[in-house]
Amino acid sequence: MKRLPAYGANLAQRLKWNNLPYLVIVCLGLGAWTSAKSWQKSPNDIIPLVLPDGKSPASFKWPVNNCRIIIERFPGPSDHDVIALVTELLKSGADSVVIWDQYSSKLFIKYKARESTC
């Protein structure tokens, strides 16, 4: 059985009652834990999650259905690792995913969940 990512219990509880946060920040790489702790102290309605170093995003249950996500990428993870995380977040029902990477030439890259055409 898959477990929640670090700090995921609070978000899972909120989603159980359809109480979506304004934003979910998924932190990964060197500095992810420190950043997530800072986001927790934010007075805004922002929920941080952490993907621990060396862990596969597919090994976690991501409680992000209908949430807007920012991936805060610090040095360390490869582009492949980040794309794997984006894929898992979208599979888990995220509304949109934006990659915030201050160490690359592209600061923001946005992925939007596809609309269902029934």
Start-to-end CA distance of the chain, whole Å, equals 32
- What was the pLDDT predicted at 43? 77
Residue ranges of the domains in the chain? 8-105
Question: Counting Cβ atoms within 10 Å, is residue 114 exposed (0-12), middle (13-18) or buried (19+)?
Answer: exposed
pLDDT digits (tens, 9 = 90+) for 21-74: 999 999 999 999 999 999 998 878 999 999 999 999 999 999 999 999 999 999
- What was the pLDDT predicted at 111? 62
* Residue 103 clears pLDDT 90, i.e. is over it: no
Architecture of domain 8-105: 3-Layer(aba) Sandwich (3.40)
Residues contacting 45, CB < 8 A, separation 6+: 21, 22, 23
CB-CB contact of 97 with 69 (8 Å): yes
C-beta atoms surrounding 62 within 10 Å: 27
**C-alpha triplet 20, 25, 27: angle, nearest 5°:** 150
